[in-house]
Chains A and B, each alone.
Chain A
Amino acid sequence: MEYRHPLAHIPLRPVLWGFFVCSVLTVVLVGVRWYWQSSAQRNWPELQAGREQQIHQIVRSAFYTHVRELLDIAQKVKSDRTLFDDLSSQAPTSILRAFERLAAHRTGDRIAIDIVDPRGNVVLWTGPSARVPFTNSRYATIDTALALSTSSLHTFLALRLPVPEQFLTVVVSKALEVNYPISNRFVTPTSFAAALSNRIGTEVRLLVAPPDTTRDDGYFYVPLHDYHRNVIGSVAVGRPTVESELQRINAQIDWMVSSLAGVAVLLAAFAALVSLMRISSAIVRSLLLTLILWSIRFVWLALGFPRQLIGTSLFEPVLYSTPFGGGITESLGETLITVGILLLNVRWLLTEVQGRLQEQEDRRPVHSEPWQLLAVVILIVAFLYMTHGFGEAFRSFVFDSTLQYHDPTALLPGGPLAVMHLTILLLTLVYLALSTGLLFLMLRLARRAVHRAVVRYQDVLVVVILFGLVWGVMLFLPVTPKFPSYYPVLMFLLTGTLCLVLQRIGRSTTIPGGYARNAIWVITAAFVAAVPLLDHKLHQKDREHLQLLAEELLRPVDSWLSLVVNEGLRTAADAQEVWRLANERQRESPSEMAFSLWSQMLVGREGYNSALMLYDASGREFSRFAVGLTTFEQTEMLRTMFNAEEEVLQVVERKLPTGVLTYYGAWSTVRDSANQPVGFVALMLAANQRSLFRGEAPELLRPLTRERFERHFREVVISEFQNGVLTTTNSAQFYRGMPLPDEVMASFPNAQGKFLWQTLLHDGRRYETLYARDDTRPGTVLALSVETLDIRWHLFNGVKIALVYLAVVVVVLLLQSSVRGMQKELQALGFRARLLIAFGVLTILPLFLLAYYNRELATERLESSISRRLVEDLSLLERRMLQTFDDEEDFLNGMTDDYCETVASELGIDFTVFRSATMKASSRPELYQTAILDSRLSGQAYANTVLVGRNYFQQVEQIGEVPYTVGYKPLVLNDRIVGVLAVQALYRQREIDEELAQRNVYTMGVYALVLVVLIVLGFVLAHRLSGPLRELTMASREVARGNLEVQVTPTTTDEIGELMKSFNDMVRELRVSREQIVRAERESAWKEMAKQVAHEIKNPLTPMKLSIQHLRRAFHDQAPDFPALLERITQTVIEQIDALSRIASEFSNFARMPERTYERVDVHLLLRETINLFREIRGVEFRTKFSDTSPVIVADRSELQRVFINLIRNSVQAMEQGGTITIETAVQDQRCVIALTDTGPGIPPSLQHKVFEPNFSTKTDGTGLGLAISRRIIEDLNGTIQLTSDVGKGTTFTIILPTQSTPHA
């Protein structure tokens, strides 16, 4: 018989059509690609001209998009009457409003808006100042103008829109390009050219000059025009080559081919899968399915699907990557797909295995097979290797990824981390499915191996003993997987517990998942398996990173930093034009020369705090650029450098209370082509921190090691011990003279490596400490300590992961609901489950509210703290200024960069002083000179401090990509505002994060405990509430089965207690009624039986009596044919006696069944065997629709087969003209439902109630007892048999039998 899985019924036509369409399109695209390649190579000159024309249009379109943006802003400003009214009122508060209104018109950080009067004075402004090339005289014109201009750092696009009625001009500008490849740390990256280059596919440069058509340098130029068709600049575009064009077009075609082919493969695989379902051999089916699934995986990988379609960072190796499996785990996205396919594969295979094993269990006689213990041992070895693989996968998830698993500032993990957690969850489910499957197999084999029961749970005992033995032996073998010895034992226990739970709830024997009730247990088990393991691996990685930091610190010279210095010197030496100008005294802007050189150096690109000094041939310094280094630091370093030989790297350490600062520097002579000295260059950089301002929380040079810990908000304490005594530390907790712990002293001389881990207890705190021996300095030990994370951190992380898992469960349930319908899904959930869900929702909701509240509170507190600190700093500076300057003139003369530097060093605060709206002096002048910071006071700060006279104003500004808060305070001398003091606070975001992390961990960690308690309480409460209802439900089921002896025990006196009492009363009443009915039925049955017996006996008796009378008469009459008559009549009498005997047998059979032999009966198997008995009957077709799993019931096999035979025979006999008999099975709530439907003439409603009565038959040769006996057999099995029939359509007999329950004897 052909096997038909439910999937096999899915119509394939749409799938095949989809496959066909995708395949054809793929082939067409491949053809187009090929045609395009050959055609492009043949006709490149014509194509190139066309492409260049196209590029012209793209460039112009991109440029005029920016122009339109500026024009839109300018027109909005122009039409803002209120703004101009406020501006013209001259009242300070009105002007402040005008500044605020103007700021509201800005659409981005790079946009600046100025309002200029006819003399060229900027009267209102917002955004950074741009070097706009409109001459003063032209501001009086009424024309709209456009210009491109460049400063030392940016190239701007500016638009001028006159407002004639106000005699003013609106100038809107936008930074289009950063001119140097300076680190993002200093400059917000923006590039018009780079965006165009990505779009066009060749190199692009923006030039503030007309096109140079004379040179053939591989570029063509697109002129950029203003409104009067004047050329204001140009874009140089690398000429497209045939290779660049092919690459560009191919990339687009490949994207489409990949997507279409990926979908085609999926559709083909689906069609193959559906066809596969018709194969009856489970092994062949499983092997083919595995082949199909992994073929999809590898074909997708080769096609780049869905990587090319989605194209997010999930498919980049920067988040996660391993070379495992030829690329199937090369990124987070690919790994998720792989694990998903693995889960599908494993789930399918285990379902198949379960089905086959169940079948075998039922068919095969159970006898002892000791050899199967060997199979148990093999399975244990498989389990150990699988557990090892699971552990290694986790190691990879942690070590091969840059994801920050523990981010205490966020309650919910970000997208990539959530995907990683999902991947981990799926892999854990695979592991649990396989390990529970293996354990069930082990138990089954153990049961078979030791068949005779000696002790209770002996199969479990056998498996546990064997596991202990195998694991014990493997510990000493070289091939043993390497992991902590307790780890597989823990996993074995976890798997065992899960098996026990799954068996108890009776949902599954091998495969977790699939049912909501199972899912809760399986996900809980996955959480227990995954989270501690993840935590353990993260701890290992933290240790590895601390060791890496120790190695960095112990390294005498960092080769990269020395290279950066050397490369810098080389770049400076190569810039011959700079030195020529320097020696010819053509230095218009000396500071810009050093900045320009620095910007092109590796040191600028890398964004190090550094200083570059240029000296001419006579040794005079003519240009200097420094960033993040104080004058003192520069002077100290220069002294050291110039005391050493040229080009010899100097590494200088400064020991501060906060730690050790290291500087790298060197100087060299610059020579011209004739090898004559033309100047000198000195370059220095700070090696281990990058704060721009004093007092700012330092950024770290490299984005890991220390930073990693500090993102956990755990400070890395670095201490140095000399001869067993602490000499330097950056910790306030540790102290100089602190002794090196004795155990470290004792261990180190013997330690094999130079690292030693110890736990250090100090001041009631526990530190994990790495001691590192410095081999270059005998007697020196470096200690790196991080405070051990306490339980609250682990709880907090546990809660976060639990939320992700919960989200997965919710998504799965929602998906199921969308398929089945929410109403049905909710109905499928029990009362207890619904109560639990309600408890869960009620306990989790406050968590989110608390997280939101924490964030708001942390931000508010920190902002207020930062404001307080800025106010204090500004007041301190103000007091210092007031002590220095007596009047405005004194201020104007004395306020210099040097003065600011001195005050900044003295007070530890970097600051800037503005005069009116222009920078007057700063302790960091280089940042303003190079336009990294804007030398124009922001419009709102100016209005608030200078115009309105507010004593303090703060706003958020930006350096590079880092937002920071700036505090402003007017400096008043003799009741007159002479300037504005500005102090930056770059520590803002970091401190908010620190505060947030602490609050999150300390409150959420405790909340996690509360959450666990609440969920346990909820579970208990739900159990108590639903307990009586479940008891009532079970009792009702018992009543439905006919057991009227059942009683429930009311435990409360509330409504539920009343309901239980009423139920008991109802059952009692039912019992009485049933007894009465039974009595009446019995009497009626007796009467009926007597009537039937009398009738049946009478029937043969009458002919017998007549025959015998006839015989007697013939004897008396001495009839001549008496012998013949005697022969005939005795024959008749014998026949009638036989009939009587048969009737007696039938009645006997009806009254008393033969002794039954109960056994486990596979219903599907029995039905198939029964159907086979009727196969030969012509004109009758049999159809089967069996459930996925074959129901097993306990019954007398031959007796049950008689029932099936009886029903099928009745149907066959009813369908004289032939027809179809359909047999369906289903398993619902531990009951097996068998429905047998024929297409016969049906039974009229008036007769339907009689069919199960004895002696009722519509057939001439029937006894009328078949169906009555069948009903008796079914009812003895605690089942029911029902009839439904439509005249003219057919009849259905439905048998419902309990699966695996004890029948009535």
Chain B
Amino acid sequence: MKRVLLLIWLVAVSPLLAQVPASKLQLHERTDSSHRLRFDSQVIDVQEHFMTLEKDLASGSMNSLVRMMGQQVYIEIAGGERGYFSSNQAVSLLQNYFMQRKPVAFAFSSVNQRAPSPYATGRYTFAHRGARETVQIYVALARQDHRWVITHVNIY
């Protein structure tokens, strides 16, 4: 019995070390559905992505950001970090940023849906140190492996 428990433990512990980036898994899941899209539906697709992002950012949720993050993302935060980061790092950086700045309001003011690099910018109003502050957020998408991913986030 004890040996069986030991074996179970060893088998259980080894997969704990297996870190497969979340985005990698999602990539496989989404490949098929993305593949079916036609060019004329891409604009709608991009619009939907931006709408989801807008909704999530306005409500303080990181779900769509996590889901849509590309393998390498260029992040630039005014007075903060700047450079290319992996999707995992990019999510952490943005999570830290938005956790300290709870949203009051957010909406994309301009959206460019044209391929190959659609982008959107909007004003993000947040509560910080008891006062309201605003920044501009720029998000660019690109088509990678048959799906739209975030390639550039600039908070300025």
Contacts and interface: CB of A to CB of B under 8 A. Distances in A.
Q: Bound pair: A and B? A: yes
B59 interface: no
A247 B129 CA distance: 6
Interface string A215-237: 00000000000000000000000
Contacts of B18: 385, 388-389, 392, 481
Contact of B118 (A320, A399, A559): A559
B31 interface: no
B91 A323 contact: yes
B140 interface: yes
A389 B85 contact: no
A560 B119 contact: yes
Interface in A434-493: 434, 438, 481
Given A323-B22, A434-B13, A555 B129 contact: no
A238 B89 contact: no
Contacts of B118: 559
B126 interface: no
- Residue among B10, B11, B66, B121 with max Cβ neighbours from chain A (10 Å): B10
Given A434-B14, A544-B72, A704-B83, A396 B130 contact: no
Interface stretch (A374-382, A715-723, A1153-1161): A374-382
B23 to A, nearest CB: 10
Interface string B9-51: 1110111111111100000000000000000000000000000
B131 A318 contact: no
B140 A560 contact: yes
Interface in A904-930: none
A438 B83 CA distance: 42
Contacts of A238: 131
Contact of A330 (B17, B84, B92): B92
Contact of A560 (B3, B83, B154): B154
Contacts of B83: 402, 702-704
B154 A202 contact: no
Interface string A311-338: 0000011101111110001110000000
A390 B16 CA distance: 10
A240 interface: yes
Nearest to B114: A559
Contacts of B20: 392
Nearest to B83: A703
B74 interface: yes
Given A241-B130, A702-B84, A283 B2 contact: yes
A710 interface: no
Nearest to B10: A382
A705 B89 contact: no
A401 interface: yes
A400 B14 contact: no
Contacts of B81: 318
A556 interface: yes
A320 B121 CA distance: 28
Contacts of B19: 322, 324, 329, 389, 392-393, 395-396
Interface residues of A, number: 71
A322 B93 CA distance: 11
Contacts of B11: 378, 381-382, 385
Contacts of A378: 7, 11
Interface string B86-106: 101101110010000000000
A243 interface: yes
A837 interface: no
A922 to B, nearest CB: 30
Interface in A370-427: 375, 378-379, 381-383, 385-386, 388-390, 392-393, 395-396, 399-402
Contacts, number: 151
B52 interface: no
Contacts of B16: 325, 389
A395 B6 CA distance: 29
Contact of B89 (A393, A401, A438): A401
A1131 interface: no
A548 B14 contact: no
Contacts of B72: 544-545, 548
A322 B117 CA distance: 27
Contacts of B10: 379, 382, 434, 438
A156 B154 CA distance: 32
B87 to A, nearest CB: 8
Interface in A541-562: 544-545, 548, 551, 555-560
Interface in B106-129: 112, 116-119, 121, 127, 129
A386 B72 CA distance: 27
Contacts of B82: 703
B1 to A, nearest CB: 9
A390 B17 CA distance: 6
Nearest to B66: A323
B130 A322 contact: no
A563 interface: yes
Contact of A244 (B13, B121, B130): B130
Contact of A559 (B5, B112, B129, B156): B112
B152 interface: yes
Contact of B93 (A248, A317, A548, A703): A317
A379 B154 contact: no
Interface in A1182-1235: none
A248 B13 CA distance: 42
B148 interface: no
A605 B138 contact: no
B64 interface: no
Contact of A400 (B66, B88, B119, B131): B88
Contacts of A353: 6
B140 A320 contact: no
B71 interface: yes
Interface string B124-152: 00010111000000101010000000001
A242 B22 CA distance: 40
Contacts of A322: 19, 21, 88
Nearest to A327: B92
Given A317-B89, A317-B93, A389 B119 contact: no
Interface in B52-87: 66, 71-72, 74, 78, 81-86
A555 B116 contact: yes
A379 B7 contact: yes
- Residue among A323, A392, A703 with max Cβ neighbours from chain B (10 Å): A323
Nearest to B129: A244
A593 to B, nearest CB: 23
Nearest to A243: B130
B67 to A, nearest CB: 12
Contacts of A317: 89, 92-93, 96
A557 B86 contact: no
A1041 interface: no
Contacts of A330: 92
A558 B117 contact: yes
Contact of B78 (A400, A431, A434, A605): A605
A245 interface: yes
A110 interface: no
Interface of A: 181, 201-203, 238, 240-248, 283, 316-318, 320-325, 329-331, 349, 353, 356, 375, 378-379, 381-383, 385-386, 388-390, 392-393, 395-396, 399-402, 431, 434, 438, 481, 544-545, 548, 551, 555-560, 563, 602, 605-606, 702-705
25 contacts: A203-B131, A247-B130, A318-B89, A318-B93, A320-B89, A322-B88, A323-B22, A324-B19, A375-B7, A378-B7, A381-B11, A389-B16, A389-B18, A392-B19, A396-B21, A399-B21, A545-B72, A556-B116, A559-B117, A560-B138, A560-B152, A563-B119, A563-B138, A704-B83, A704-B84
Shortest beta-carbon contacts, A-B, top 10: A389-B17, A244-B130, A243-B130, A317-B92, A386-B14, A389-B18, A321-B92, A241-B130, A559-B117, A704-B84
Given A238-B131, A375-B7, A399-B21, 8 more contacts: A201-B129, A203-B131, A321-B91, A356-B2, A402-B85, A434-B10, A703-B82, A703-B84
